[in-house]
Structures are given as C-alpha cells and as structure tokens.
Amino acid sequence: MPETFEILYFFNTPYNSLVEIKRRNFDFEADPSKVFFWILYEKKTHRIYPLQFISMKGDLLEQERVFKQGTFFFNEQEGTLLNSSDKAKMVLKRMPPSTMTKLLKIRIDEFLLLIDKQTEKQLEKLL
C-alpha cells in the first residue's frame, strides 16, 4: 500500500517527535492547510497534536515556523520549539525521515483518516 504522506521535516527527542508532512492524495490546487501539517507526537501516550500554522520565514541557514501553540526555529542539525503559553523550550534533533518509527507513521495515517472523516461529515451536513 502506498504511503499517504511524505515526510518533509522530522525532529526527535527521547519524549517527543515533531514532523511536517505533505499529503500525497491532493492535487496542486488544493488548499495548503489541507495538504501540509506540522504534528507534535508525544511518545509516552502516543498522542498526536496538530499545530495550527500561522506563518513561516527563513533563509539558507535557519527557518522559522509560527504556530498558534508556539514558534519553531530550526536548521540542518536541530530545532527549538518555544511554547506560546508558558515559553517552555523543547530542543529536538533533526533526523532523516527514514528513521521515523512505523508506529508514528501509523498514528499519522490514523490522524489523516480522522480529518477526512470529519470533513466528510461536514460536507454531508451541507448537502
């Protein structure tokens, strides 16, 4: 079975993973908010927390992503997530996408399936 998403960025700690994915089953004209997702994964509970994207900027050396939940700064080696509510800092190591665990891939697939089901229910209400 082909994978439903591509891993764009993968960051890791012993306790959490932070991933940007791009869904594969959408065309070029789809709304980017339906195609690209930043996901925080809590390893202890296996919970997925989608981050609500606000903006991005960057250059060749460092990137910045701003989310409702905080700001993430990263480069080729690591990233730092600053929580917007309490300014807590999480430093994550950048990893090759091939090192992502099968369990995390399964949890992301489940998350995407849930989003699709919610969208389907919303469409049914409109019809």
Burial class (CB in 10 A: 0-12, 13-18, 19+), 89: exposed
Q: Token match 């960051």: residue? A: 11
Give the model confidence (pLDDT) of 79-109 as tens digits.
Answer: 999 998 888 899 999 999 999 999 999 999 9
Residue 91: predicted pLDDT: 97
Residue 69 three-state SS: coil
pTM: 0.88
How far is the C-alpha of 121 from the C-alpha of 112, rounded, in Å?
14
Q: What integer best gives the mean pLDDT of the chain?
A: 90
Residue 25: predicted pLDDT: 79
Burial class (CB in 10 A: 0-12, 13-18, 19+), 20: buried
